[in-house]
Amino acid sequence: MENGSLVSLCVLLALTTRWTVSFHSYSGAGKPPMFGDYEAQRHWQEVTYNLPVHEWYFNTTENDLNYWGLDYPPLTAYHSLLCAHVAKVINPEWVELFTSRGHESLAHKLFMRATVLVADILVYIPAVVVYCLYLVEGSCKKKVTTIFCILLYPGLTLIDYGHFQYNGVSLGLALWGVIGLGLGWDMLGSFAFTLALNYKQMELYHSLPFFCYLLGKSVKQGLTGRGLLLLVKVGATVLVTFALCWLPFLSDSRQVLQVLHRLFPVARGLFEDKVANTWCSLNILIKIKTLLPAGTQLSLSFVLTLLAALPSSIKLFTRPTLWQFKLALVNSSLAFFLFSYQVHEKSILLPALPVCLLLSDIPLMALWFLQLTTFSMLPLLLKDGLLLPYMVTSGAFLYLGVFLLSALQRSTDEQLRLQPYHTLISTLLPCLPRLNLGLITKWKFVASVVIMAGLSMASVVLEPPARLPDLFPVLVSLVSWAQLLAFTFYFNLLQLSETPGKRSGKKNN
């Protein structure tokens, strides 16, 4: 009873934080002619409500794709249609074709914010609670603390309730997929993740670990018996779910091809804006977009992404455990974020989700990573007028993570799982004495927090030189990218160094 009350209190505080952030500005507020992501989501409601399904993804006289045309999978379109029906009941002007473009009012803002909150209550928050109660090992206090910290992760709150998006839906569905696989309910896990993939195509960041885990588990059970049956059931689940999601488009191959064309707009180029990934960072010194043809850029991006994700995926295939699965989700999504084509700042939320699942295991490293992901989106958040909620939510999350999770106290070499580093150092530099890597890591964390806080402050109070107007966004991008590369090395080494006989303390399925 007491634990139920604590969980309810955590959820209530998380909802209060979300709604408080929602009172602030949003993407494109008062900025015609395109406004921003807020208008994009509203416009999709307008399009899906007023036009037949077969016109949703096509450029027509009534659907100008240059004005926030639909570029997410069908499940997002159905969600927009559902919201549009509710909007029509409240105020038909919000979804009137053409005349509703750029609509801004307090009542509509409250409605749009409420749709995000309802989606979180139905999908993301229950997934976090169930995951922590059933798949986090330890005391009830540890489970409740983990729930609280995950729900207060500022990156997701600032983007969904500040900038304005529905990332909680796709991430929540992906988390339900993790829960399904973690509890041995492979059909439920496959169904949930397929829904996530059909809500946002960026869930491809997590697809390799799901595939390798299920394939590895099937092979482990034997492809002539239980394993084959599992593979068939999983395959059927995925195919049927995809078919149901795409049913209105399957009658015409042109419809399918057009939707796919909208989902993967390769014509936009290798990258946009100042993103903390490899291509944007290297472009400061090497003008990749100018030197290489578009086709070469796409091929290079694909190859490097695959190479970066392959080692962890192979390890997961050979050892399909929940611990390996969570690490593979981190490593795969980081590989996609750092090396794939057309990455946006908000895509860092995809690596952030599986790292949230590691908060109870390696709190210092997870807390550090999550703080970094929020910081990496600083230019976008400042553009949206979200400085105050950024400072408050980031500071609160850092404080709660350090004290509730005892992040700085749990920083020995063993607790941070740094033994692979000792092995690597002793192999490369045998004359070097054994270092206290836990203490070094703790001070690096402190230094990183100071640098991020300093750059955040400088971005607000200092005027960049006239010849370097993008100085601070570029510095934020470079600092974030360098640390993300270091984390990629850490998480890959952590996963790959686990031997088959080593006990990870995690449930094997």
**Alpha-carbon distance values, 269 to 290, 342, 344 (Å):** 11, 7, 12
Residue 500 banded pLDDT, cuts 50, 70, 90? low
Contact 65, 15 (CB under 8 A): no
Q: Look at residue 196 in the predicted model and tell me its pLDDT.
A: 98
Residue 241 lies in domain: 2-29+104-496
43 assigned to some structural domain: no
Query: How does pLDDT run across 348-395, given as a tens digit for each residue?
Result: 999 999 999 999 999 999 999 999 999 999 999 999 999 999 999 999
Q: Look at residue 478 in the predicted model and tell me its pLDDT.
A: 96
Say whether pLDDT at 11 is over 90: yes
> What is the pTM (predicted TM-score) of this model?
0.95
Query: How does pLDDT run across 78-122, given as a tens digit for each residue?
Result: 999 999 999 999 999 999 999 999 999 999 999 999 999 999 999
Q: Look at residue 507 in the predicted model and tell me its pLDDT.
A: 47
Contact 245, 73 (CB under 8 A): yes
Q: Which amino acid is at 308?
A: A
Section 240-250 average pLDDT: 96
Q: Look at residue 506 in the predicted model and tell me its pLDDT.
A: 44
41 assigned to some structural domain: no
Lowest mean pLDDT among 124-133, 346-355, 431-440: 431-440
Q: Look at residue 499 in the predicted model and tell me its pLDDT.
A: 62
**Alpha-carbon distance values, 470 to 237, 274, 372, 387, 401 (Å):** 48, 9, 20, 18, 32
65 DSSP assignment = T
Number of domains forming the structure of the chain: 1
**Arithmetic mean of pLDDT over the chain:** 93
Query: How does pLDDT run across 145-180, given as a tens digit for each residue?
Result: 999 999 999 999 999 999 999 999 999 999 999 999
Residue 476 phi, psi (nearest 5): -60, -45
**Alpha-carbon distance values, 264 to 71, 267, 342 (Å):** 8, 9, 9
Counting other chains too, the contacts that 127-133 makes at CB distance below 8 Å and 24 or more residues apart are 127/172, 127/173, 127/175, 127/176, 127/179, 128/175, 129/7, 129/11, 130/179, 131/175, 131/178, 131/179, 131/182, 131/357, 132/360, 133/7
**Alpha-carbon distance values, 115 to 88, 127, 169, 238 (Å):** 14, 18, 11, 28
Q: Which amino acid is at 313?
A: S
Q: Which amino acid is at 196?
A: A
Q: Taking Cα atoms as reference points, which of 466, 446, 450 lies closest to residue 458?
A: 450
| Exposed / middle / buried, residue 66 (Cβ in 10 Å: 0-12, 13-18, 19+) | exposed
Question: What contacts 218, CB < 8 A, 6 or more positions away?
Answer: 227, 228, 230, 231, 234
266 assigned to some structural domain: yes
Residue 429 banded pLDDT, cuts 50, 70, 90? confident
Q: Over the Cα atoms of the chain, what is R_g? A: 23
78 assigned to some structural domain: no
Q: Which amino acid is at 51?
A: L
According to DSSP H, which parts of 405-436 are helical? 419-428
Measured between alpha carbons, how far is 483 from 491 in angstroms, rounded to an integer?
12
Query: How does pLDDT run across 278-327, given as a tens digit for each residue?
Result: 998 888 888 887 888 888 888 999 999 999 999 999 999 999 999 999 99
Tokens 């992906």 found at: 174
Say whether pLDDT at 236 is over 60: yes
Contact 395, 457 (CB under 8 A): no
Measured between alpha carbons, how far is 111 from 116 in angstroms, rounded to an integer?
9
188 assigned to some structural domain: yes
First CA to last CA distance, the chain: 30
92 assigned to some structural domain: no
**Torsion angle (degrees, nearest 10) of CA 304, 310, 312, 317:** 160
Query: How does pLDDT run across 470-497, given as a tens digit for each residue?
Result: 999 999 999 999 999 999 999 999 999 9
Rounded to the nearest angstrom, the gap between the alpha carbon of residue 239 and the centroid of all alpha carbons in its chain is: 24
Q: What would the 3-class secondary structure string for 269-297 be?
A: CCECCCCCCHHHHHCCCCCHHHHCCHHHH
